[in-house]
Amino acid sequence: MDTPNGYWMPPAASTVAQSVDDLYFVIFWLCVVFFFIVTGGVVYFAYKYRRKHPDQLATQQIGHNTLLEATWTIIPAILVIWIFVLGFRVYMDLIVAPGDSLEYQVTAKQWAWDFRDPDGCSVPGELHVPAGRPVKLTMRSDDVIHSFYIADFRVKQDVLPGRYSSVWFQADKPGTHNIQCTEYCGTSHSNMFAKVVVHTPEEFANRAQTFCKVTVGKEHGEKLYKNQCAACHTIDGNRLVGPSFKGIWGREGKMSDGSKVIVDENYIVESIRIPTAKVVEGYPPAMPAFPTLTNDDIASIIEYMKTLK
């Protein structure tokens, strides 16, 4: 069992959770200190300068005090800058996934979560991950805006229709934690639960024999490539009607309007759904849209493209 962080916090079960909690408590205790300074001052002055007898005259108006005003400006300014620096560090840890992360595909829809691990394994409503490895989730929505939240891991990220978002975490101990949707997404929003199950590396390595079945993934993407894309795009670097897919993933490409684009999930999905949106320089805008490809199909093609080094 993970150590609870005092009685009002859920267990801190990911590698970033402790730093999120530390930052929270820095801000919390600063607020407590200033609460007593401000309210204490109000009460003290109200008592000290109260009207002591009926014929006492009104207190004289007091002008400004440079030393006092400089003090109550400079000290809070330093504290706010300090909070920014602490917060920015934790934010960068939360937002930048380690390069050796295991990459999962996550789909949110009314009202369920669908998870696919790097080998295409999927268990309905359960995200199965190994302990001690960073895990990056690339997430999309099939309908409305959802939000992916694991309280025990202190990670939360909106999941949007029409574009990809991502979140990462590393859990070092085996265990089970709740996943909740934290964006109101319709009637059953409050039932949009799932579980994340952290396994020992051995359990995870044997998942194909135990709890996981392969459905889509890079093999499915390769089949789709052969019967949908291969007529115009090679995988060996040669030029056909369109650019080759060899080494395309993560590359920066120049577009016909002079702009530059990094080939990532959002670029690929746009290029398949709206091929004329961004046309690579030197190629005719000849590609039709592929409405029959499902979101799972496109995610599979992306997984296949990543293998074309």
Strand 155-159, strand 112-116: pairing: unpaired
167 touches ligand CUA (CB under 6 A): no
Cis bond before residue 249 (omega within 30° of 0): no
Q: Which of residues 188-227 bind ligand CUA (CB under 6 A)?
A: 189, 192
Closest CA relative to residue 273, chosen from 161, 191, 167, 180: 161
Residues 6 or more apart in contact with residue 67 via CB below 8 angstroms: none
CB closer to ligand CUA, 107 vs 170 = 107
Closest CA relative to residue 120, chosen from 104, 137, 136, 97: 104
CB closer to ligand CUA, 88 vs 193 = 193
CB closer to ligand CUA, 183 vs 265 = 183
**Where does this chain touch ligand CUA (CB under 6 A) — which range of 120-128, 131-139, 180-188, 255-263?**
180-188
CB closer to ligand CUA, 40 vs 186 = 186
Measured from the CB of residue 60, what is the shortest distance to ligand CUA in angstroms? 59
Number of other CB atoms surrounding residue 282 within 10 Å: 9
Instruction: Supply 36's token pair.
Output: 């007593």
DSSP calls for 91-119:
HHHHHS--TTPEEEEEEEETTEEEEE-TT
CB closer to ligand CUA, 114 vs 183 = 183
Number of other CB atoms surrounding residue 262 within 10 Å: 11
Is 185 within 8 Å of 192 (Cβ atoms)? yes
Measured from the CB of residue 140, what is the shortest distance to ligand CUA in angstroms? 13
Q: Which of residues 67-126 bind ligand CUA (CB under 6 A)?
A: 108, 111
185 touches ligand CUA (CB under 6 A): yes
181 touches ligand CUA (CB under 6 A): yes
Measured from the CB of residue 112, what is the shortest distance to ligand CUA in angstroms? 9
Measured from the CB of residue 145, what is the shortest distance to ligand CUA in angstroms? 8
Residue that has been written with the tokens 């135990």 in this structure: 210
Measured from the CB of residue 151, what is the shortest distance to ligand CUA in angstroms? 15
Contacting positions for ligand CUA (CB under 6 A): 108, 111, 146, 181, 183-185, 189, 192
